Amino acid sequence: MEKIAVLDSGGQYCHLIARKVRELGVYAEILPIEASPARLRAYKGVIISGGPSSVFDEDSPQARPGLYRISKPILGICYGHQLMAQAMKGVVEQGKTQEFGRADIRVRSAEPLFRGLPKKQRVWMSHGDHVAQPPAGFQVLADTPGCSVAAMGDLQRNYYGFQFHPEVVHTKFGSEILKNFVVGVCGCRQDWHPEDRVEQLIARIRKDAHGRRVLFFMSGGVDSTVAYALTVRALGTETVHGIYVDTGFMREGETEQIEAAFQKLGLGHLQTFKAAGQFFKGLQGVTDPEQKRAIIGQAFVDIQDEIVEREEHTGHDWLLGQGTIYPDTIESGGKGQAAVIKTHHNRVQRIQELIAEGRILEPLAEFYKDEVRVLGRALGLPKALVDRHPFPGPALAIRCICSALAEKPEADEEIDALARRSGYRAFLLPLRSVGVQGDSRSYAKLTVLWGGELDYKKLLPLATEITNRYRRTNRIVALIGRKRIQPGEWKIRRATLTRPRVKLLQAADHIVTDFLRSEGLYGKIWQAPVVLLPFSRGGGETVALRPITSVDGMTAEVARLNPQRVLELAARISKLEGVDAVMYDLSHKPPSTIEWE
């Protein structure tokens, strides 16, 4: 089988590159960036991924010196583009400003990677450093107003570099560009398909289980259900024990829906374990997002131990099954050089210990969400389950924002001046959220825009410009339904995870889900997280809406829902007792993550 090697520089998009190549029908494998040149000669071509490092860092990931002597086509993306330029004596400069989000490139030479494509096209950027001058033998293939070498190529040796990310869905012709490389330049046959992995996965589960029983924690979501279905298919219902843990942070009515759905699936008995009291007790008084995730992950493991002891399974050798997918591991820094974007609850310390002991079974750990859906369909799972919106394992606990301090909004003259040019006002909230900028984690303050209409043509470019210019903020929201606000009258109050706050969030989330279904929007967007934050004028809460479009969750764009209908939705939410305001999240990923915590 012909293969493409993707060298991992630690970027958040490394496995997305491999998935995109596989989507073209060409098998791709991930290798460490320091893979030996001798090994790479077995591949039809090599792609060097982006990464969180700068080529100017002393400890930045480096390829072996012999990489550029293997006589195979090579494509460098983002950091890989800069690394290639530096290694071959081009000029790389540190950027004074970062460029995150959409950009338009001008194609200066169509051959061979832009063959058959428009001269001007939309791409996705996420970088700080840039190539100022290509190495000898290279020519500039494309540029943008802010990036003179957006693409370069040495057509004699078939070495190419892109400053942008062709692997993400928001690069309009990314698939065609990659196809021009892997099929046109590398000469690969398109003879591989993800559906073919089902039988291989079943064989691997049987091998990894070695006759052991599997205790499988379920969330009712796509990932855990597909992983569970694969494991049952491989080992049978007598060997696999499904446990659904009701943490108290699920959506309104979700436990009953999950129980009913599993009865129809015929995948064995699903035991529901009521654990709300245990989770709320463990999280009492906790405000730090990372600590919340760690406590939730440990609580899941404690419940596993409790269940095993209660059911007297201690005489058996057990594996813990999880629906972990690849973004969960790479955003936790779980592979190679990857930057830690957030700590996933399936990667807390106790889980890491179980992994080291060989007691974790994760059938989907190398797959992305869209591939998981393909596997679910191949297994015959119902459409309503396979196409369900993603829902985080820690559930609403990470959408209920906490604060250890009572704080006032912060004036920011620079950002406010920028907002005024577009007809808005702005201030910062000292509530920080997680983001990903330049492939690295950022943890920055929230910018609130107010005073104008919900006009995406003005707001989205403004949001991108703010986050490109100022690293002190990575998430932009618009206050909707209020024309005027006096920031000095509002404040962040001390708040932790309490049952009343979670109940209010469940009610707001239910209203949003009903709205999406009634408007025929549920199947058209990727996800619509609803976030509760303790920002108010009268001691209540603010609800933030986060509807986004995506394919795989690695990148995402703001969903542009009808402004008038959004205002009507905000009015419905505002009628809930305790809600003082509603906001609309205007942040793409990057620079923001989908979830706030």
Catalytic residues: 78, 165, 167
**Cα–chain-centroid distance for residue 220?**
19
Tokens 């606990």 belong to residue: 397
Using CA atoms, how far apart are residues 443 and 339, in angstroms rounded to an integer? 13
Kindly provide the b/e burial profile for residues 46-78, where b requires at least 16 CB atoms within 10 angstroms of the residue's own CB.
bbbbbbbbbbeeeebbebbeebbebebbbbbbb
Using CA atoms, how far apart are residues 395 and 388, in angstroms rounded to an integer? 14
Provide the Cα torsion 430, 435, 441, 443; round to 10°. Answer: 0
Using CA atoms, how far apart are residues 571 and 391, in angstroms rounded to an integer? 25
Residue among 517, 246, 555 nearest 384 (CA):
517
Using CA atoms, how far apart are residues 115 and 118, in angstroms rounded to an integer? 9
Burial class of residue 358 in the structure, from the number of CB atoms within 10 Å of its CB (0-12 exposed, 13-18 middle, 19+ buried): exposed
Using CA atoms, how far apart are residues 542 and 519, in angstroms rounded to an integer? 24
| ∠ Cα 111 115 119 (to 5°) | 95
Residue among 19, 17, 7, 10 nearest 48 (CA):
7
Tokens 């990903």 belong to residue: 436
Tokens 């459409």 belong to residue: 383
Using CA atoms, how far apart are residues 449 and 476, in angstroms rounded to an integer? 7
Radius of gyration for the alpha carbons in the chain, expressed in angstroms and rounded: 24
Using CA atoms, how far apart are residues 479 and 491, in angstroms rounded to an integer? 14
Q: Which two tokens stand for residue 62?
A: 């480096």
Q: Which two tokens stand for residue 588?
A: 């793409």
Residue among 540, 563, 578 nearest 481 (CA):
563
Residue among 584, 380, 397 nearest 498 (CA):
397
